[in-house]
Amino acid sequence: MKGSDSRGGPRRQPYLVWSFPWAWVWVCCGAPSLADADVRLLLANETPYYRAAADSFRHHLGRLAPGVAVSIHSVANDWPAEDILVSIGSPALTELRARYPDRAALHLFITSDFWREQSLRDPGLGNNTAVALDQPPQRLLTLARLLVPEAHTLSAVLGPHSSQHGAELSGGAIALGFEPRIGILAPGDNPIATLWPLISASQITVTLPDSADFNRAVARWLLQLSFRAKIPVIGFSRAYTDAGALASVYSTPENIGQQGAELVAERLAHGPFPPGLLPPRYYTLATNATVAEALGIVLPATAALQNRYAAALQEQP
């Protein structure tokens, strides 16, 4: 979570939740034996966030299964059938699927939209497992309710990809006591003409990830207009909070790498990966103390916010 350090600048602390009942296997019985199997980790490229996810994966798997070797690759090669295949980044997923269309693998650091689009082109992908980078909309809504408990109206503007989450977002907002006001911004639309009526008629707004072009086009106007109207924004990335959102919830490369390692540990202990797209187990909270002060919002202390947020998520059905 991001607050203010002693110099008044931002700082970030990750907050991780969820527990894993299978972990006692490692404590009581040790890592299961897997005679000749290695983990082959294919990176899309050497981008720092991919490398950070790989380093986190290797660190956590080394703790959970110290006898299993992890090798990091930039190209998919001829790997033994018993090896466990893991990709990081969407280009690595497509390369791994092209090389091994009949082998189940684990895919990290991809978006839900990419998984859905790729599944239409590659029906066999459904036998694989992936961890989504983006958060379920309910996590953003829960953070909005926690930070602005008196808010009654909540707005969101959705784009070509995120519009498919409109019903989920609206239903989740209503369940938390919000009156949702959701708009759709199509390519070629005037962002201000769509955003301003929504923002000016709401008490808090949330934003969901979409295409890179949509995110760039909307972010600047959304933050400017919401600040002018003194309406807090809940974002989906650290960059949103740094740029002027009140708070964000997102998964870091370290979060994703840890979940990937735990899935491989589960695979070793219990058998094949559960197929399909999985939500991120771990998240990081970030808040912007400067924005909160400007909006007259009192942020809870770091530990209190973390605990209350985790409790609020667990209380939901």
pLDDT in tens, the chain (317 residues): 433 333 333 333 343 433 333 333 333 333 334 445 799 999 999 999 999 999 999 999 999 999 999 999 999 999 999 999 999 999 999 999 999 999 999 999 999 999 999 999 999 999 999 999 999 999 999 999 999 999 999 999 999 889 989 999 999 999 999 999 999 988 888 889 999 999 999 999 999 998 877 888 889 899 999 999 999 999 999 999 999 999 999 999 999 999 999 999 999 998 899 999 999 999 999 999 999 999 999 999 988 999 999 999 999 87
- Whether 92 and 238 map to the same domain: the answer is no
Tally the domains of the chain. Answer: 2
- Whether 143 and 258 map to the same domain: the answer is no
Both tokens of residue 219? 């972010």
Does residue 198 lie within any of the structural domains? yes
What are the E-state strand segments in the chain?
2-4, 10-12, 38-43, 69-73, 84-88, 106-110, 129-132, 153-158, 179-184, 204-206, 233-235, 247-250, 276-278, 284-287
Does residue 310 lie within any of the structural domains? yes
- Whether 91 and 184 map to the same domain: the answer is no
- Whether 26 and 110 map to the same domain: the answer is yes
DSSP annotation string for 160-194? TTGGGGHHHHHHHHHHTT-EEEEEE--TT--HHHH
Q: Angle formed by the axes of helices 112-121 and 90-99, to 10°?
A: 30
Does residue 264 lie within any of the structural domains? yes
For residues 23 and 1, what is the distance between their CA atoms, to the nearest angstrom?
26
- Whether 199 and 307 map to the same domain: the answer is yes
Percent helix / strand / coil, the chain, rounded to 5: 45, 20, 35
CA angle, 56 then 57 then 58, to 5°: 95
Domain extent, residue 223, equals 137-250+284-315
- Nearest Cα to 218, choosing from 179, 237, 295? 237
- Whether 44 and 188 map to the same domain: the answer is no
Give the helix/strand (H/E) hosting 77: none
Using DSSP's 3-state secondary structure scheme, residue 228 falls into helix
242 alpha-carbon distance from chain centroid: 17
- Whether 193 and 224 map to the same domain: the answer is yes
Provide φ and ψ at 70, rounded to 5°.
-120, 125
pTM listed for this prediction: 0.85
- Nearest Cα to 70, choosing from 235, 204, 268, 218? 268
Pairing state between β 284-287 and 247-250: antiparallel
- Whether 72 and 220 map to the same domain: the answer is no
Please name the residues in contact with 36: beta carbons below 8 A apart, sequence gap of 6 or more.
Answer: 80, 82
CATH number of the domain encompassing residue 94: 3.40.50.2300
User: Whose structure tokens read 């980078």?
Assistant: 133
User: How many CB atoms are closer than 10 A to CB 192?
Assistant: 11
Residue 36 has a pLDDT of 57
Does residue 205 lie within any of the structural domains? yes
Q: In 19-87, which residue ranges form alpha helices assigned H by DSSP?
A: 24-29, 48-64
Provide φ and ψ at 301, rounded to 5°.
-60, 155
Report the amino acid identity of residue 266: E
Residue 302 has a pLDDT of 85
Does residue 199 lie within any of the structural domains? yes
- Whether 310 and 168 map to the same domain: the answer is yes
